[in-house]
Amino acid sequence: MGKKSKKKDGVSRETPEMDKPRRLMYETDEEPEPRADTLASGAPALGSPAKNQRDGHEAVSRETQLAPTLPRPKRPRVIVVANQKGGVGKTTSTVNLAAALALGGLKVLVIDADPQGNASTALGVDHEPGTEGTYEVLLEGASIDDVAVPSPEEGHLWVVPATIDLAGAEIELVSAMGREQRLNKAVRHYVAENEVDYVFLDCPPSLGLLTLNALVAATDILVPIQCEYYALEGLSQLMKTINIVKGELNANLRLGTVLLTMFDTRNKLAHQVAAEVRQHFPEETLTTPIPRSVRISEAPSYGLTVLSYDGRSAGSLAYREAAAEMASRDAGRTE
Ligand code: ATP
Ligand code: MG
């Protein structure tokens, strides 16, 4: 991306349909969640609920020229989204933050490092067995440029898909040369060759070699924390792993962002957990929590992010706010 204009999907970007934002093709037909027409930051909210599944449309991959509304980081940020706890919102946060940053005019790449391939699904890219992606990068020396494909989401958003083959990579990497550095090498090469602002690495719920590769490749860690009981359990293990990686493999790694997810304002416990997280990570925790929202959980089954699925829902607005907060913090960072 950046230097190249790839059209791997074979879809012409000249068709009249593509002049319109895809989300405007949808009609509203569902009950609304609490909504607002503008974000707290003043940017307009976009879109209506998606009625049609992505499958019902031609896959429309394009790169719109969005006016940049979010500031660019001084250096490309490579963000590993990690928490060995399952189901805390790693993938949901990866795809929606990535989409929000791309919608803000930034250039974004998502590398799906989880054999479940959930990020690939949510970003609407093919990840059938046999599709080239993260496995080929890790084990066959493929370059990211060769396997990245554009997401049909709005803006400059590219994806390295994960197939189920990646499940074997965890074992195959054990005996591979430079096994912890493979993703790092590929990402360094990609960042040097392409104009990109953010690279997101979505990890599986474990601290195995896939997550280790992502931690070694990253500049920043983003930890999503579900606002529920046990939320902080296991975090000390994650912090230990991060410190080992910092000490031995990636001195530049820093805990950049903690994101509160699935926050239910009516739930007292959620407030307690949020307060505790903010006490532990006062600098890192974003002001904006992500609410528990049916729209957020429905979106992936349409192969969409919540921004495209229902741009005016509370979940979409929260992810856009959180992305704006991240971008403004990162724009001020020099390291
Ligand atoms: P895994 O560890 O399996 O990779 P994960 O940490 O990536 O999981 P997700 O897949 O993002 O977690 O989310 C787990 C489930 O919770 C999914 O069904 C998702 O749709 C749902 N979910 C995530 N965030 C929210 C939210 N804010 N509101 C409602 N549901 C949510
Ligand atoms: Mg996941």
301 Cβ below 6 A of ligand 1: no
Q: Report which of 83, 82, 161, 79 is spatially closest to residue 122, judged by C-alpha positions.
A: 161
β-partners of residue 291 are 263
Q: Which residues contact 295 (CB under 8 A, 6 or more apart)?
A: 33, 49, 306, 309, 310, 313, 314, 315, 316
- Measured from the CB, is residue 292 less than 6 Å from ligand 1? yes
* pLDDT band, very low/low/confident/very high, at 65 (cuts 50, 70, 90): low
143 CB-contact burial (10 Å; exposed 0-12 / middle 13-18 / buried 19+) = middle
Question: Binning pLDDT at 50, 70 and 90, where does residue 176 land?
Answer: confident
Per-residue pLDDT averaged across 5-9, rounded? 39
Cα 132 to the center of its chain, rounded Å: 19
pLDDT tens string 198-244? 999 999 998 899 999 999 999 999 999 998 877 788 788 888 889 99
Q: Are 300 and 43 in contact (CB under 8 A)?
A: no
Give the residue-averaged pLDDT of 101-111: 98
Q: Please determine, for residue 296, whether its predicted confidence score (pLDDT) is greater than 60.
A: yes
Of the pLDDT bands very low, low, confident and very high (cuts 50, 70, 90), residue 15 is very low
Q: Is the pLDDT of residue 73 over 60?
A: yes
**Residue 315 CA: which ligand 1 atom is closest?**
27
Give the residue-averaged pLDDT of 321-332.
Answer: 96
Q: Which residues have beta carbons under 5 A from ligand 2 (an ion)?
A: 90-91, 118
Our mutation pick for probing the ligand 1 site, out of 266, 297, 313, counting the most ligand atoms within 8 A of Cβ, is: 297
CA distance 254 to 246: 8
Longest CA–CA span in the chain (Å) reads 54
d(CA 182, CA 229): 36
Provide mean pLDDT across the span 309-317: 97
| Every domain of the chain and the residues it spans | 70-331
Ligand 1 contact via 85 beta carbon (within 6 Å): no
**The pLDDT value given to residue 230:** 79
Amino acid 262: pLDDT: 96
Q: Is the model's pTM score more than 0.75?
A: yes
Question: 36-45, 171-180, 240-249, 262-271: which range is least confident on average?
Answer: 36-45
CATH of 70-331, one of 1.10.357.10, 3.60.15.10, 2.40.160.10, 3.40.50.300: 3.40.50.300
CB of 308 within 6 A of ligand 1: the answer is no
Quick one: pLDDT at residue 334? 79
